[in-house]
Amino acid sequence: MKGIWGRLRENKLFLVSLIGTTIIPLIYGGLYLWAFWDPYTGMRNAKVAVVNLDAGSVKDDQAYNFGKDIIDKLKDDHNLDWQFVDQNKADQGIKNLAYYATLTIPADFSSKLLSVDGDSPTTASFNLKIRDTNSYFASKFIKSAVNELARKLRSEVGKKYFDNLFVNIRKIGDGLRDGSEGAYKLDDGLKEAKDGSQSLFDGIVKFKDGLLSLKDGIGDLFGGSQTLRDNVDKAYGGSQTLMSGISSVSSGIHNIATNSAALSLGSVQIASGVASLSKNSDLLLSGAVQINDGLSAVSSEYLALSGGISQTQNALSQISQSLGQVNSNLSSLASDYSASPPAKLTETITMLSSITDSVNQLSGRVTSLTAASIKIQNGIGQLSTNNSAFVAKLGQFDSSLNKLSDNLIVLSASNQSLAQGVARLDNGMMVIESGMVSLNTGLHDLSTGSATLADKLNEAKSGGDDLYAGIGTIQDGSKTLTDGLSSAQNGSQKLAGKLSDSAMDISNRSAEENVLKKTGVMADPLTVNEEHIGIVANNGTAFAPYFIPLSLWVGAMSIFFVLKMPTKRRFSSAILWLRSQKTYMAALFIGVIQAIVLPFVMTHGLGLPTKNSVRLYGYCLLLSTMFVSIQYLLIRVLANVGRFAGIILLMLQLTSSSGTYPVETSAKFFQNISRFLPMTYAVRILREIISGGNLSITVTSWTITVRMVILFMVLSFFSTYAFPKTRNLFRNHLLVFLERV
């Protein structure tokens, strides 16, 4: 024991080696725990590019942009270092290893999320592009993070889908229920309209029958007016003849009265005149009797005509009232419609209004005819009275004439009495002549009025024909309307039944052709389209780029547990110096064998896939050469301390090369030293050789590796030569440092 402590006091390098060996487990465990203390939290430093191309969408006058909503959520999410960039920068970044992945939200993202309510529901999706060769752990973590994001968004969207679905189903049910109630109300209204239409049809039938009777009555009245007109014309002709005879008689009597002084002288002439007068008196009496008969006939016909006019007036009044009631019923029927009334009903109302106007015009004409009839009736009455007086006076005249004839002798004897009688006769004839003028005027007015009456009755007959034809059209239209309302009522009953059934069975009968699509989209409204760059098949493939340089480093360390290191000395020739390199060359040879055996066993024994086997073997040879050179140089310069330094370098590289977790998950110390250690570039290049296949992105790593190989080989070659003034220089400085410590 005393010997050991004495050796430790004398050999400081041995003491350092012993202390280093003692703390190796502490360094190993401490570095690993420090580097990988919380890699999941450290993933917040892993950069992932996010590209939002969502153009948004509009639904129910409301704008939606779910892509922007996702961006807002990611800004508050710190599981990853989300970088919000454009598409070009994202593509370049994942290509040159600036980003571990890119998440792209497509332009139709919002429209697809909203498409579930349309005819072509479509599942929306993210586009996730991951470079597995950058870090297998990072790709798994990013994939889990994006899937978790998709799950949350899927849950929110699904909730909105089902909220809208149930709200819409409730609205549809309410609408169908309202539609069913409206259909039943429509059915009741159509039933009432049908009953009203039937009543209208029955009223029109009765009106048509009454109108037919009116038409026939007007026809008969028109025929009677023609007969009246003919008889009045005959009476007017007789009155003209009578008036001519009376004028002659009056003129003769006047002459007699004027020449009464010569009467006595012309008794013979008087007798002759009296005979002539008696003859003319008979004619006059006969004409007066004919006039009286004609007036009686005219009076009878006119009474019938007056009754027909009254009947016509009453019928027209009833027709006008009936049409008004019908028109009112149809207008009320039209107002019952919530929308526009049927065209046939509107046409019927218009036609009834036109017919009502025609009936009112006809009624006005009949009223005018009634006034004219009253005038004619008064004229006939006056004419009849005058004619009766004329007949009476004519009878008196005839009686007087007979007496004159009988008493002609007396006349001759009593000229004075005759003169007086002639004077009275002259006066009577003047009265008769005046009455005949009135009679003639009345007959003329009666003739004119009867012609007007005939014309008006003819117009009334034509209007009655048109009215009858129009009522026939209305009857046909009313029947068509009744039939249509009956069909509409049947249809409304079917509609009410269907709406009621639909309201009760809405869940089974709504959009059956799209229900599978909609439920599929609603169940999974969002998917993640993954695109892997450099697919890593499994964990073994993922860790191979990490374990290959680790194995070669450990292999290089183990070589120098077997080979003995030569001493430094000056050589007199280059040949002797080259011969001194046999230990280094032997170490390189063993390293080459290790570099060949390791990938061979991995590819053929373990089935490790590789994009290019030649590059794999070549790069393993390059790594083995570099690692052997580094170990040789450390031991050559530092002896056993160099072995300890090799172990420390191994642990530093294992914790900072991104072989397991991305270096961004480690402390800043490991991130800073990572770029100075060869295993960092070895892991990066081997990932592309084994899984990626894109060596263009590792040109820098290749260049650095080659430069390191050349540097450490050159240093190893010259480490065996003892240069003047530098022999054991490093060793002496280290001993001085330890002495001071």
Do 607 and 710 sit in the same domain of this protein?
A: yes
pLDDT at site 644: 82
Which tokens sit at 248?
């002659």
Residue 342 belongs to some domain of the structure:
yes
Triad 115, 119, 121: Cα angle to 5°: 40
Other CB atoms closer than 10 Å to residue 406's CB: what's the count? 10
Q: Can you tell me the distance from the alpha carbon of 222 to that of 215, in angstroms, rounded to the nearest whole number?
A: 10
Q: Is 47 helix (H, G, I), strand (E, B) or coil?
A: strand
Instruction: List Cβ neighbours of 159 (8 Å cut-off, separation of 6 or more).
Output: none
Other CB atoms closer than 10 Å to residue 501's CB: what's the count? 13
103 close to 84: Cβ distance less than 8 angstroms: no
Q: Give the CA count within 13 Å in the CB-facing half-sphere of 317.
A: 7
Q: Can you tell me the distance from the alpha carbon of 569 to that of 110, in angstroms, rounded to the nearest whole number?
A: 78
pLDDT at site 592: 95
Residues in the chain: 741
Do 593 and 711 sit in the same domain of this protein?
A: yes
The residue out of 175, 207, 225 marking a domain boundary is 175
Element (H, E) at 52: strand 47-52
Do 225 and 157 sit in the same domain of this protein?
A: no
pLDDT at site 44: 78
| Sign of the alpha-carbon torsion through 195, 200, 205, 210 | positive
Element (H, E) at 615: helix 613-638
Phi, psi of 531 (to 5 degrees): -130, 115
C-alpha dist (Å) from residue 700 to 130, 135, 167, 682, 716: 22, 18, 61, 11, 24
Residue 402 belongs to some domain of the structure:
no
C-alpha dist (Å) from residue 554 to 399, 550, 581, 616: 182, 6, 22, 19
Residue 33 belongs to some domain of the structure:
yes
Do 17 and 125 sit in the same domain of this protein?
A: no
The total number of structural domains in the chain stands at 3
Q: Is 341 helix (H, G, I), strand (E, B) or coil?
A: coil
Which tokens sit at 84?
């919000």
- In the numeric block, the tokens 């996702």 are attached to 70
Residue 398 belongs to some domain of the structure:
no
Do 243 and 198 sit in the same domain of this protein?
A: yes
Residue 281 belongs to some domain of the structure:
yes
Q: Can you tell me the distance from the alpha carbon of 290 to that of 296, in angstroms, rounded to the nearest whole number?
A: 10
pLDDT at site 144: 81
Do 286 and 261 sit in the same domain of this protein?
A: yes
Which tokens sit at 249?
């008689």
Residue 4 belongs to some domain of the structure:
no
Q: Can you tell me the distance from the alpha carbon of 532 to that of 537, in angstroms, rounded to the nearest whole number?
A: 11
Residue 388 belongs to some domain of the structure:
no
Per-10-residue mean pLDDT for the chain, 741 residues long? Answer: 60 65 72 68 82 86 84 85 90 83 88 72 81 73 79 73 63 64 66 66 66 66 66 65 64 63 58 66 70 70 68 71 71 64 69 72 71 69 71 71 64 59 63 64 66 67 66 67 64 63 55 55 69 76 87 93 72 61 88 94 90 91 95 86 86 84 82 90 89 78 92 83 49 51 44
Do 20 and 85 sit in the same domain of this protein?
A: no
Which tokens sit at 35?
């580097």
pLDDT at site 711: 94
C-alpha dist (Å) from residue 64 to 52, 57, 73, 165, 167: 14, 5, 15, 18, 19
pLDDT at site 624: 94
Which tokens sit at 503?
């309201």
Do 134 and 188 sit in the same domain of this protein?
A: no
pLDDT at site 207: 63
Q: Can you tell me the distance from the alpha carbon of 20 to that of 690, in angstroms, rounded to the nearest whole number?
A: 37
| Sign of the alpha-carbon torsion through 356, 357, 363, 369 | negative
Residue 516 belongs to some domain of the structure:
no
Phi, psi of 135 (to 5 degrees): -170, 120
Phi, psi of 547 (to 5 degrees): -80, -25
Which tokens sit at 111?
């429209």
690 close to 616: Cβ distance less than 8 angstroms: yes
Q: Is 60 left (phi over 0), alpha (psi -120 to 50) or beta?
A: left
Do 238 and 335 sit in the same domain of this protein?
A: yes
The residue out of 156, 175, 194 marking a domain boundary is 175
Do 212 and 346 sit in the same domain of this protein?
A: yes
Domain limits for position 151 = 42-175
Do 181 and 137 sit in the same domain of this protein?
A: no
Element (H, E) at 81: strand 81-84
Do 568 and 484 sit in the same domain of this protein?
A: no
Which tokens sit at 256?
């007699």
The residue out of 143, 175, 207 marking a domain boundary is 175
Q: Can you tell me the distance from the alpha carbon of 691 to that of 549, in angstroms, rounded to the nearest whole number?
A: 16
Which tokens sit at 149?
């994001």
